[in-house]
Amino acid sequence: SRPWTVSCEDVRIAVAGDLAWVTCVEVIVPFGGEDGSDAARMQATNLFGRVDGQWRLLHHHASPSPTETVAPEEPVN
C-alpha cells in the first residue's frame, strides 16, 4: 500500500470527439493525516484519447496549488 491517499475535488470534464480532458484538484493526504491538516493540493490535468473504442490516458500533469491568496500590489504613483 502507499503511504498516502489521493482524492479529487472540483472535477471538470470536457469531451471533443475522440479527445477528453479532466481538470481537478488532487488532495493528497499522508498516512495518519486523516484530519487533513497535512493535505497537499495539486492542480491536475488529464488528457484522454479514444483508441480502438477505449479511453486511454495520454497525459497527466499536476502542479502545486497556491496555499494562500496574495493581495494585488499597490500601484506606484
Task: Determine the 3-state secondary structure of 61 from DSSP.
Answer: strand
pTM: 0.70
Q: Are 30 and 3 in contact (CB under 8 A)?
A: yes
Give me the pLDDT at residue 69, please: 53
Give me the pLDDT at residue 55, please: 97
Give me the pLDDT at residue 3, please: 84
d(CA 31, CA 26): 16
Give me the pLDDT at residue 39, please: 87
Task: Dump pLDDT digits (tens) for 36-73.
Answer: 567 889 999 999 999 999 999 999 999 997 765 555 66
Q: Are 42 and 64 in contact (CB under 8 A)?
A: yes
Give me the pLDDT at residue 12, please: 97
